[in-house]
Amino acid sequence: MKLKELSSPIPCTFTNIWIILFAFLSTSSGSHFPKNFKFGVSTASYQIEGAWNVSGKGENIWDRMTHEHPNWIEDRTNGDVACDSYHQWKTDIELINNLGVDFYRFSLSWSRLLPTGFSNYVNPDGVRYYNGIINELLKNNIEPIITIYHWDLPQPIQNEGGWPNIVTAEYFADYAKVAFELFGDRVKTWITFNEPIEICQNGYGGGGKAPRIFSSGVSDYLCGRTLLMAHAKVFHLYDRHYRHKQQGKIGVTINTGWFEPKSNDPKDVAAAELSLQMMFGWWTNPIFSKTGDYPLLMKDRIANISRAQHFKRSRLPNFNNEEIKFIQGTSDFLGLNHYSTVLASYAPLPNVIPVSFSNDLNVKTEVDPKWIPSAATWIHDVPWGFRKLLNWIKGEYNNPPVFVTENGYPDVGQFNDMERIHYLQGYLDELLKAILVDDCNVYAYSVWSVLDNMEWNRGYTLKFGLYHVNFTDPKRKRSPKSSVQFYKDFIKSSRKFDSIEMKSMVSN
């Protein structure tokens, strides 16, 4: 990063001066990641594509929700145009190429490929669009990495019950088969789902995301069962029919913060562990653990609370032995989305427990007021939590291959985004320590996101992009922020050293 690019209109406080100096010195000293480590950037279809009803695309649950209930989005916006990446994808690939990344992770729009949600009709314009992106990326020596599902369920599938309906697992497998047939000759890394807990707990439990169903403690658990079965079906489909021919790999992306015990009190330590098991282990344990199935902590807790609520059986639907084996081991890597850390502490169960996931968990969380905040209440700059999480994964699941599929910082859109640079540098430093000092098996890292985009129920009020997008301009002009040069230089510097040299450079 050039010194002149560090000038900033933000207030010249001691904290801001320190952030700027830290970013400059850290970037100048270089990162020293393993030679074959990969860096990339990520996006999602609904958040950037726009063209919501163009060229044969069908309606999805976010189209339906934002059109019928604009007040459910903070700024009453939608993804109808978003970044208009459907028309400007070549420009976006030029921006990605400018970063010098190894890969670009993007998602397919199920409704753009299969307008009705079902596989009896494949939209040729959708095929053309994604073929163009894949081919252009390969032309620029950028690996295309595809997320098959990033929250935008076709509305006709939702009309049949959506993810709580186990039949949706079959529809998803049909859709994935179409994707493998169309693009698997060139796409060598596939991700089935992005953030299952957001799909289920927020989509069908707490109602924070589309389709905004309020059935926490029941429908979210049904959704979770379907998603795990759907993921396993698609993994086995790829494994049996496409892996040998296409020579690719397939995994799943699961998100979590780090839960730090608020104190050394055993109850707080147990509360932090319960949080990890019920929010992260809900998805990782059935796939990555030696035993399979849901975490025992989660199963026992929900079963006991269900009995106290006079249910005849646990509200967490069980897997039989055959299903446990069917799901277990169905991932070539663990995709990890991580953004922040919270403090966890014990909270006693009330005498009367309303049915909900949050009441099943019943852990108090808060943040340290000294932590650097962001424009999102749920993200603070706490890089040491990243390293702790990676070590927990290593110990819990026998050090699986980890692909950090998302990590990023939201602000309100400033070009001199020094807070984002400080965040990224800190998290990358902790990632490096986890790899070289702790021997955590992490092989790739992706920044969220390439562009400012439609941030779901927050609309366009949060900006995660390395590139600024002017959403008042019909042409959606893209402009680089300071973090573009930071990330570009960081990637370049990581190529300078081999692993033997790096080992001596990194300490606790």
What is the percent of the chain where pLDDT is above 90? 90
Interval 58-99: pLDDT, tens: 999 999 999 999 999 999 999 999 999 999 999 999 999 999
Q: Pick the range with the lowest mean pLDDT from 3-12, 229-238, 368-377, 422-431.
A: 3-12
pLDDT of residue 31: 54
| CA neighbor of 294 nearest in space, from 258, 268, 328, 263 | 328
Average pLDDT estimate for 232-251: 98
pLDDT of residue 494: 87
3-state secondary structure at position 172: helix
Interval 334-353: pLDDT, tens: 999 999 999 999 999 999 99
Catalytic residues: 195, 406
Report residue 421 as tokens. 């640079």
**What kind and span of H or E run contains 148?**
strand 143-149
- Would you state the CATH architecture of domain 26-493? Alpha-Beta Barrel (3.20)
3-state secondary structure at position 108: coil
Ramachandran assignment for 68, one of left (phi > 0), alpha (psi -120 to 50 degrees), beta (any other): alpha
Q: How far apart are the first and last CA of the chain?
A: 26
Look at residue 284 and tell me whether its pLDDT is greater than 70.
yes
Interval 440-460: pLDDT, tens: 999 999 999 999 999 999 999
Interval 39-61: pLDDT, tens: 999 999 999 999 999 999 999 99
User: What is the DSSP track for 395-464?
Assistant: HHTTS--EEEEE----BS--SS-HHHHHHHHHHHHHHHHHHHTT---EEEEEEE-SB----GGGTTS-B-
User: What is the DSSP track for 41-80?
Assistant: EE--HHHH---TTSTT---BHHHHHHHH-GGGSTTS--SS
User: In the chain, where are the structural domains located?
Assistant: 26-493
Instruction: State the amino acid at position 443 in one-letter form.
Output: Y
Look at residue 183 and tell me whether its pLDDT is greater than 60.
yes
Average pLDDT estimate for 7-11: 34
pTM: 0.93
| CA neighbor of 175 nearest in space, from 248, 121, 221 | 121
What angle, rounded to 10 degrees, do the helices at 14-29 and 418-436 form? 50
Distance separating alpha carbons of residues 42 and 446, to the nearest angstrom: 6
Distance separating alpha carbons of residues 484 and 467, to the nearest angstrom: 7
Distance separating alpha carbons of residues 400 and 241, to the nearest angstrom: 24
pLDDT of residue 496: 66
More confident residue, 495 or 409: 409
Look at residue 13 and tell me whether its pLDDT is greater than 60.
no
Interval 448-506: pLDDT, tens: 999 999 999 999 999 999 999 999 999 999 999 999 999 999 999 987 654 444 444 44
